[in-house]
Amino acid sequence: METPRRPIGVGLGMTVGMMVVALAALMFVFQAPTAAPPEHLVIPRASTAAVWFDIKPLDRLSKRYVDEVGMVDYEGLKKDHKDLDAFLRQVAEISPNNNIATFSSEEEALAYWINAYNAWMMKAVIDAYPTESVNDIGEDPGVFDIEDKTCGGDDLSLNNIENDIVRTAFLEPRVHFALNCASMSCPWLPQEAFDPERLDEQLEREARRFFADPSHLVVDVETKTVSLTSILDWYQEDFLRWLTEVKGIEDPSVLDYVRLYAPEDVANQIGDDFSVEYLEYDWRLNDRNAEWAELRKPLAGTTVASEQ
């Protein structure tokens, strides 16, 4: 998207006084907001005029096509994708990169990118459906590297969104329990969109749900071994950096992070001398209609549904 150009001239009949007024008005229109936005939102070409960004279409389809264990009815979504299309039209038009005023807080910006990632992933799946794995979508580049996910006029890939934007601009490792790669080992999709006004509450809920799932965390007290999802290995630097900079822990380990969110009885079993091994990632599609869907079991005391 080109940088908006300012008018460079006025009518020949305009008086000097009118020229001064006109120029003052232009300066007002194009000046940055009085309250300085977060540094990562300061984009030279960004508009300062707020517009309405509606997460309701994504919220509706999440309630309709995501079940209580975060599995997705892709067959149904492929037949009825009007809400997904409506949400992605908004995503394609505006983003925190081209509209500061609409996403003026970190919560608004982060919720946008999480929802955009999850919605574009669902779109990639239904476009290729039926398929057994996201790794079967695209060849070179694959589904994570295809730069056809338009956000605010920019053609991005899923890896661009996750690694170049979310992980770079936000010190928030809980995003790894919210960004959904449409696979069995991924975090569970909630039956709602991520809402800026409730984002911290939602991320906290998803982090606790993630570590309550035995496919992500198993503690063997006899062998003093903790089996962890590969997500904690791939993005270890994000968790360790947060523990150091936010919690003030010197020389932290991933187990320090696990103890914060694992169920209390499980967390209390993890000793400082326990070793860590990483589980093989299951890339099979989180498809509610697949034969392996029954492997995803409800967790005691948790729910994926909206708590409102």
Domain ranges within the chain, ordered by starting residue = 53-198
Rounded to an integer, the average pLDDT of 33-51 is: 57
- Indicate the pLDDT class of residue 26, thresholds 50, 70 and 90: very low
184 vs 25, higher pLDDT: 184
Beta strand ranges found along 135-213 (DSSP E): 149-151, 154-156
Checking if the pLDDT of 63 tops 70, the result is yes
SS3 277: strand
pLDDT attached to residue 16? 32
Checking if the pLDDT of 4 tops 60, the result is no
Distance CA 253, CA 240 (A): 7
DSSP annotation of 40 reads: G
CB 122 within 8 A of CB 84: yes
pLDDT attached to residue 139? 86
How many Cβ atoms are within 10 Å of 297's Cβ, its own excluded?
10
Residue 234: both structure tokens together: 């791939």
Q: How far is CA 176 from CA 9, 32, 180, 195, 203, in A?
A: 50, 33, 8, 16, 9
pLDDT attached to residue 46? 63
Distance CA 295, CA 278 (A): 19
pLDDT attached to residue 45? 56
Checking if the pLDDT of 42 tops 50, the result is no
**Which of 144-169 are b and which e, b meaning 16 or more Cβ less than 10 Å from the residue's Cβ?**
bebeebbbbeeebbbbbbbeebbbeb
- Indicate the pLDDT class of residue 234, thresholds 50, 70 and 90: very high
Rounded to an integer, the average pLDDT of 295-305 is: 68
DSSP annotation of 47 reads: B
In this structure, the chain runs to a length of 308
- Indicate the pLDDT class of residue 260, thresholds 50, 70 and 90: very high
pLDDT attached to residue 193? 98
Using the structure block, give the residue that is written with the tokens 């982090």: 207
- Indicate the pLDDT class of residue 17, thresholds 50, 70 and 90: very low
Of 216, 195, 183, 228, residue with least CA distance to 302? 216
**What is the reported pTM?**
0.84
Distance CA 287, CA 295 (A): 11
Range with lowest mean pLDDT among 21-30, 104-113, 158-167 = 21-30
Checking if the pLDDT of 275 tops 70, the result is yes
**Which of 178-205 are b and which e, b meaning 16 or more Cβ less than 10 Å from the residue's Cβ?**
bbbbbbbbbbbbbbbbbbbebbeebbeb
How do residues 164-186 score in pLDDT, each as one tens digit? 999 999 999 999 999 999 999 99
Average pLDDT of the chain to the nearest whole number: 87
pLDDT attached to residue 33? 38
